[in-house]
A and B are shown apart, each in its own frame.
Chain A
Amino acid sequence: MTTVTDTPLTTVPSADEIVGRVRDLQPMLAKNSAQGEADRRVVEESITALTDAGAFKIAQPRRYGGYETSMRTMLDVSAAVGEADGGTAWVVTLCNVCAWLTGLFPEQAQDDVWADTPDAKVSGVLSPTSEAVKVEGGFKVTGRWYYNSGSWHASWAVLGIPITNADGEVIDQGLALIPRTDLGFEETWFVAGMKSSGSNCLIATDVFVPEHRIMPVPAAIGGDYATEHTDEILYRSAFVPLLSLVLAGPQLGLGRKALELVTAKADTKAISYTFYTAQSDSVAFQLQIAEAAMLIDTAHLHAYRAADDIDAAAARGVYPDVIARSRVRADTGWVLDHITKAINILVSAHGAGSFGENNPLQRIWRDSNVAARHAVTLPAVNYEVYGKALLGRDDQITPLI
């Protein structure tokens, strides 16, 4: 790049420093979590504080003042927020991954989003549940996209479309970058967990999207991105692996927090209807704590192995092969499997009090379980993808690898 002088001077903090800033906010984020559930949107105080702390900059290009970090740091930050509140962690995670997606678009599209508004947040949905009509200079898009996490806070959205030719035939699949002001909105997120994530429905009716704000998806799955800035390592990360693994981040924090909460009460909480006056005296309880801790550790080992696979390949400028990419999906499923098992053990060990409305454990249990059902992270599906890849079978079950 010869336009170095155009680049704003961004001081990029270390991952530890960003996580430290988030940790400082944890008491406030946790205090707001019940209100966030009641409102079905993260409390604005939390969003503002996280924005000020740079939590939404970690996957934004440095050209716009972002930190342009790594898959590893995305996990670190999502997990740190997740220790305080699942719904907030989900919003941070999804806005960051959509910022990453925006970083794959041509520079002109990125300018549209960030040149004048460097703090702009982007939400998004990959499913092309829409129609796109080819018109002069772009497409007219009509559709409805459910589950736009962070929709309350985003001013842009990346939304799946079928790409058509002049005859109306579908010739490709794409992501369209559309300003929120062009989109309708319906509140549709009425769920058992991740209530505050604001995963609502965005609606387009004949919205014109210029060519430069359309990104082909199959090409991206194969590692062919539109950004001209091919020197930017983060935007060479593998497409589906990153989209999948990023969703494990909040889970790591939820698991760690559950273990911390249950362990902290163990010396003062009895085991009801037994002679144990402290849970920590019970060998059965000790085994449960050890098992939960090991399951959570296992989740971390796999999450960070996968993150390092993604980061190392991007740094080398190599696009990982199908087996390596499938393994990240399997790793992601493994994280969810083990975190949800660990949390189940912990709520059983802690007892029925886990489910009291004033006990944060019940929210962690609901948030973790609901988030663990996101379609690109489902363990059974992800293991099947990996198994088929290992066996070199030609009956793969999804294009999303």
Chain B
Amino acid sequence: MTTTSDIAPTTESGIDPKRFRDLMARVCAPVTIVTTTDGDGPHGATASSFAALSQDPPLITVAFDRRSALLARIVAAGRFGVNLLHHGQEDLAMRFASRGTGGERFAGTPWHADTGLPRLDDAAGWVTCELYDTVEGGDHLLLIGLVTKACNVERPPLVYANRTFGTHSRFTERPRRPIIDHITACTSD
């Protein structure tokens, strides 16, 4: 596919790309920051394509535009981390979605290396993956990750729908034990 193909009015299916984008904008998506690292330091980008794939073995998927600089680095490194953002991290989602080098995005963002991958200090969840397989899908490449570590914090997840960040309105009504609220109160900053 050439770089001009995405502005052409028709695609293989013949539908208007704008209609497709508007439809997809309504799909409620998780917000994650996918990271990897190499000799140039930490790298990361916001991704809303994170999804579960398999229980056994534990596999997840995340898709990246083929032109993504991060994608090339992940494929080269053969491993990546996924930070699941919480509802207070809209600004991080924006920063890691905007232009800028890895260094610029990470500057001012508290993070540390976890099993060698950049983990944001305050994220609601953390997954480390070995690159298990890739699947070509149009202008994107679907990465299949074998999960080697999974960490959770009880915080409202950041979701994105209709080009707006938020969390789902019934989060506080979710079934849970009182101790979960206790712990959440003691870990939120």
Contact = CB atoms under 8 A, between A and B. Distances in A.
B186 A127 contact: yes
Contacts of A399: 181-182, 185-186
Interface in A343-388: 375
Interface in A213-269: 217-218
B180 A400 contact: no
A129 interface: yes
Given A144-B112, A144-B121, A186-B112, A173 B151 contact: no
A160 interface: yes
Interface in B76-135: 112, 121
Nearest to B110: A188
Given A131-B151, A144-B121, A186-B112, A170 B179 contact: yes
Interface residues of B, number: 16
B187 A218 contact: no
Nearest to B115: A205
B174 interface: no
Contacts, number: 42
Interface string A164-182: 0000001111000000000
A162 interface: yes
B128 to A, nearest CB: 13
Interface string B169-189: 000000001011111011101
A400 B179 contact: no
Interface in B143-189: 151-154, 177, 179-183, 185-187, 189
B180 A170 contact: yes
A173 B182 contact: yes
Given A129-B153, A131-B152, A400-B186, 6 more contacts: A127-B187, A128-B186, A142-B151, A162-B183, A170-B154, A218-B179
Interface of A: 126-129, 131, 142, 144, 146, 160, 162, 170-173, 186, 217-218, 375, 398-400
